[in-house]
Structure 1
Amino acid sequence: MSDPLDFSGQRVLIVGGSSGIGNGMARAFLERGAEVHVWGTRTSAADYADEDGSDLTGLHYARVDVSDPAQIDGAPGFDSLEVLICCQGAVEYKRAEFEREGWDRVLAVNLSSIMDCARKYRAALAEAKGTLIAVSSTAAYHSTIGNPAYGASKAGAVALVRNLAAAFASEGIRVNGIAPGFVATKMTRVTTDNPERMQGALARIPLRRMGTPADMAGAALFLASPLSAYVLGQTIVVDGGLTL
């Protein structure tokens, strides 16, 4: 039998794949034979050379700021695309999300840009009978004190997965999502750099450890593969039991 996790000859685009969870996913697909494209916000791949959790070796990089719909529209197109993963994310601290500017920026990146990407690559995904995976957060399922835009945008992403799944299924496109729990990335440094907050966070996770980009990549490989051929419109929670 052929390996269902062999992505040789397939094209994968990971929005937000320049670092963190997205980069972990990019490395996983590359290791399994895929042609992997990633988007980031810096001018070139070389600008990520000193970034922890970033390895762009062997990846095709493009600079696209997804908070600007015009940049998404002007990004490189594909005739055919097997996998599109929307792993972009933004958060504002110090109660900035209660102000219009902070609210608008977080919603633009975490929710509106997913729809913009889906719209742009819909035809290419249909051509390949491909998959779209939206990475949200367990924040979709509980309150996030001080971050109303983050929580609302992630809950919106979960709802968007369901709606796009129903809308695109007749074209052969499967849409699903992943909701990561507590993963060490630059977005969670407000906790990981604070020993007291870190201890409290781990105490709430039954597995007593943080998640890793590799943990999230495993779920992405599954959802992009024939192993999940009958899975549609679902957002898989990958959180070590945090939301239990």
Structure 2
Amino acid sequence: MSDLDFSGQNVLVVGGSSGIGNGVAHGFRQRGAQVHVWGTRASAGDYDGVEGSDLTGLTYACVDVADRAAIAAAARKPERLDVLVLCQGTVVYRRGEFAPEGWDRVMAVNLDSLMDCSMAFHDRLAAAKGSIIIVSSVSGFQSNRGNPAYAASKAGAVSLTKTLGEAWARDGIRVNGLAPGLVATKLTAVTTQHPDRLAGALRAIPAGRMGTPADMAGAALFLASPLAAYVHGQTLIVDGGLSLS
């Protein structure tokens, strides 16, 4: 059996309804896992026709992760869990994160909910000797001038990965992360859908292209697999070399 065969395992991808999370969800599904995803729309049908979203073969639930009570209610299922992927995220442009409302919303989704979700599933992951994968961003390692909450929350996600990686290793849970660079999603449309901005961004990427959800899925599959059995508390940067200079 391949080390990347997840047959018989239950995987939950929070934020798996579109973009990077959706790519990660299908990466696990294609390798045999039963995959659950949480998203923000009322039903799976509400994602029909949405670019970057394919819920075929995935079990969907609507959960507002900025609401602790909603997380607690939704986390009753699945009853067994092997892999928890935390890929939720939001951003407020036009300097909205400098205002308390924007700051609070971004921090609630991008950082607070990571801990809430991790705690909600801790016991099931410990029973399964499972793993958590926290998706942060290269913004967690550098300044993001217009988005202080986004940058701070992603830096916090990297630090949380280290801390939970140490704290829960003896519980049998491996906690690691991945930090994507530029990937075409709804959060990066401000760059990817403007040709001049995109051209400038691509010039800064040594690989010469944007990342894809499938690129991120490959990293997630590795981190959740036995191939990474001795990896704890690390965040793997997956950015085509963007952060090298």
- For Structure 1 versus Structure 2, the TM-score category normalised by the shorter chain is over 0.9
Using the TM superposition, give the Cα deviation of residue 195 of structure 1 relative to its aligned residue in structure 2, in angstroms: 1.1
1:178-217 → structure 2 map (5 Å cutoff): 178-217=178-217
Using the TM superposition, give the Cα deviation of residue 79 of structure 1 relative to its aligned residue in structure 2, in angstroms: 3.4
Using the TM superposition, give the Cα deviation of residue 80 of structure 1 relative to its aligned residue in structure 2, in angstroms: 2.3
2:136 match: 136
CA distance in 2: counterparts of 1:224 and 1:185, whole angstroms: 23
Root-mean-square deviation (CA, aligned residues, Å) is 0.6
When residues 127 and 79 of structure 1 are mapped into structure 2, their CA distance, relative to the original with a 3 A threshold, is farther
**Partner of 1:186: helix, strand, or coil?**
coil
Is 2:75–2:120's contact at 8 Å kept on the other side of the alignment?
no
1:171 match: 171
1:242 match: 242
Counterpart code for 2:191:
T
Counterpart code for 1:14:
V
1:158 match: 158
Matched, 1:36 2:4: no
Matched, 1:20 2:19: yes
Matched, 1:96 2:96: yes
Identity %: 64
2:67 match: 68
**TM score, norm. by length of structure 1:** 0.99
**Partner of 1:5: helix, strand, or coil?**
coil
CA distance in 2: counterparts of 1:204 and 1:11, whole angstroms: 38
**TM score, norm. by length of structure 2:** 0.98
Is 1:129–1:172's contact at 8 Å kept on the other side of the alignment?
yes
CA distance in 1: counterparts of 2:67 and 2:83, whole angstroms: 22
CA distance in 2: counterparts of 1:13 and 1:141, whole angstroms: 26
Counterpart code for 2:99:
E
Deviations, residues 117-153 of structure 1 (Å, cap 9, x unaligned): 0010000100100000000000011111110000000
1:221-236 → structure 2 map (5 Å cutoff): 221-236=221-236
Counterpart code for 1:181:
G
CA distance in 1: counterparts of 2:159 and 2:75, whole angstroms: 27
Counterpart code for 1:156:
G
1:57 match: 56
CA distance in 2: counterparts of 1:177 and 1:241, whole angstroms: 17
Is 1:79–1:127's contact at 8 Å kept on the other side of the alignment?
no
User: Gaps spanning 5+ residues in structure 1: where?
Assistant: none
Using the TM superposition, give the Cα deviation of residue 18 of structure 1 relative to its aligned residue in structure 2, in angstroms: 0.2
2:5 match: 6
CA distance in 2: counterparts of 1:170 and 1:160, whole angstroms: 17
Is 1:12–1:35's contact at 8 Å kept on the other side of the alignment?
yes
Give the length in aligned residue pairs. Answer: 243
CA distance in 2: counterparts of 1:39 and 1:187, whole angstroms: 17
Using the TM superposition, give the Cα deviation of residue 193 of structure 1 relative to its aligned residue in structure 2, in angstroms: 1.4
Is 1:64–1:72's contact at 8 Å kept on the other side of the alignment?
yes
Counterpart code for 1:79:
E
